[in-house]
């Protein structure tokens, strides 16, 4: 059996950067009386990487832990998903030093959303309401935005009676984003026909899906087709893991999602000559290597 790791899978540069910042903070601690370094929420959606960094002293906390860390010299890392402005304010109030590892792509998204909102636009975001990145963006506009997860959701909840801008969470899938765009554009044309007058509804569409996710889709589909079976390794909480798994599964129905190598079922591999391993932007290369070793021992 040949086992190949998809060379386009694994950490995106935003995650590489975040993990590097955490490693640097851990390494910079004085040897004596080492204290933990803190991160707000899991550093990435991958239990294996969380475990590795936790063993080195990275402790996952929430904003509710700020009072116990107040004025203690604690450093708190903000992960790639970013945080709402409120978090920075609370850290400052508690005398906590923030190490900002927000992915620059997410920072850019927050800045663009803020710019439109400041100009009085209705902000619509294609994303998951409670995803950390979306919570950050919602905070930027004081929660005055509409988060939609499907075309129907957009048609049911977005009133196009004022100038509007549509953004996307960076890890959503582009085909659905484009369907939402078309559905809302269609709604504007209907409004014009219904009222028999020209209503100049300004509607902007900003495709803020990260190229690190969308750029992988075609390569992943081709990789999935080249192999008899795909083992897709990702954390279950990973948004882009779900998107990329769906892409692989559509290209090859013998694609299986696992979080750990122990979940692999031998039955999946029956008759397979070529097995491919792929993963999300938060799946560490070292863990895919371990999965490969496991499969070669079967």
Which residue numbers are catalytic?
133
Distance CA 223, CA 261 (A): 20
Of the candidates 183, 121, 171, the residue with the CA atom closest to the CA atom of residue 146: 121
Is residue 14 involved in binding ligand SF4 (CB under 6 A)?
yes
Is residue 135 involved in binding ligand SF4 (CB under 6 A)?
no
Cα-based distances in Å from 283 to 11, 145, 277:
6, 31, 11
Is residue 12 involved in binding ligand SF4 (CB under 6 A)?
yes
Task: Name residues contacting ligand SF4, limited to 166-205 (CB under 6 A).
Answer: 170-171
Sign (positive or negative) of CA dihedral 12, 18, 22, 24: positive
- Contact mark string toward ligand SF4, 202..241, x via CB under 6 A: --------x-xx--------------------------x-
Q: Nearest to ligand SF4 by Cβ — which residue? A: 14
Q: Are 14 and 54 in contact (CB under 8 A)?
A: no
Which span sits near ligand SF4 by CB under 6 A: 33-41, 103-111, 189-197, 198-206? 103-111
What's the closest the beta carbon of residue 201 comes to ligand SF4, in angstroms?
A: 30
What's the closest the beta carbon of residue 285 comes to ligand SF4, in angstroms?
A: 15
Is residue 21 involved in binding ligand SF4 (CB under 6 A)?
no
What's the closest the beta carbon of residue 224 comes to ligand SF4, in angstroms?
A: 20
Token digits of residue 19: 């993990």
Beta bridge partners of 145: 123
Q: What is the DSSP letter of 121?
A: P
Q: In this complex, which beta carbon is closest to ligand SF4, that of residue 74 or of residue 210?
A: 210
What are the residues whose beta carbons fall under 8 Å from the beta carbon of 218, sequence distance 6 or more? none
Q: What is the DSSP letter of 283?
A: S
Judge residue 17's burial from the number of C-beta atoms within 10 Å of its C-beta, 0-12 exposed, 13-18 middle, 19 or more buried: middle
What's the closest the beta carbon of residue 185 comes to ligand SF4, in angstroms?
A: 26
What's the closest the beta carbon of residue 288 comes to ligand SF4, in angstroms?
A: 17
Q: Are 77 and 28 in contact (CB under 8 A)?
A: no
Task: Name residues contacting ligand SF4, limited to 44-73 (CB under 6 A).
Answer: none
Q: In this complex, which beta carbon is closest to ligand SF4, that of residue 3 or of residue 19?
A: 19
Compute the half-sphere exposure of residue 95: CA atoms within 13 Å on the CB side of its CA: 7
Is residue 244 involved in binding ligand SF4 (CB under 6 A)?
no
Which span sits near ligand SF4 by CB under 6 A: 7-15, 31-39, 115-123, 219-227? 7-15
Of the candidates 43, 83, 35, 74, the residue with the CA atom closest to the CA atom of residue 60: 43
Q: In this complex, which beta carbon is closest to ligand SF4, that of residue 9 or of residue 240?
A: 240
Q: Which residues contribute to the site for ligand SF4 (CB under 6 A)?
A: 12-15, 80, 103, 105-106, 170-171, 210, 212-213, 240, 281
């Amino acid at each position: 059996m040949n086992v190949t790791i998809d060379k386009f899978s694994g950490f995106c540069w935003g995650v590489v950067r975040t993990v590097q910042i955490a490693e640097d903070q851990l390494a910079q601690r004085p040897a004596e009386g080492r204290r933990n370094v803190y991160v707000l929420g899991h550093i990435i959606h991958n239990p294996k990487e969380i475990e590795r960094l936790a063993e080195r002293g990275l402790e996952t906390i929430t904003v509710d832990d700020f009072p116990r860390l107040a004025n203690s010299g604690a450093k708190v890392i903000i992960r790639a998903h970013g945080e709402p402005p409120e978090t920075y304010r609370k850290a400052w109030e508690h005398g906590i030093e923030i190490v900002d590892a927000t992915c620059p792509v997410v920072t850019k998204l927050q800045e663009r959303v803020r710019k439109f909102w400041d100009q009085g636009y209705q902000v619509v975001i294609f994303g998951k309401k409670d995803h950390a990145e979306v919570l950050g963006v919602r905070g930027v506009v004081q929660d005055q935005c509409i988060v939609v997860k499907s075309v129907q959701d957009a048609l049911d909840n977005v009133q196009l009676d004022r100038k509007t801008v549509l953004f996307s969470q960076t890890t959503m899938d582009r085909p659905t984003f484009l369907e939402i765009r078309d559905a809302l554009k269609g709604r504007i044309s209907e409004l014009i026909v219904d009222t028999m007058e020209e209503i100049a509804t300004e509607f902007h569409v900003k495709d803020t899906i990260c190229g690190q996710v969308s750029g992988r889709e075609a390569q992943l589909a081709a990789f999935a087709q080249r192999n008899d079976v795909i083992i897709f390794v990702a954390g279950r909480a990973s948004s882009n893991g779900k998107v990329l798994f769906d892409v692989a599964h559509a290209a090859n129905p013998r694609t299986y999602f696992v979080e750990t190598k122990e979940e692999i079922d031998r039955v999946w591999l029956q008759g397979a000559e070529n097995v491919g391993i792929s993963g999300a932007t938060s799946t560490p290369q070292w863990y895919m290597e371990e999965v490969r070793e496991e499969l070669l021992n079967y």
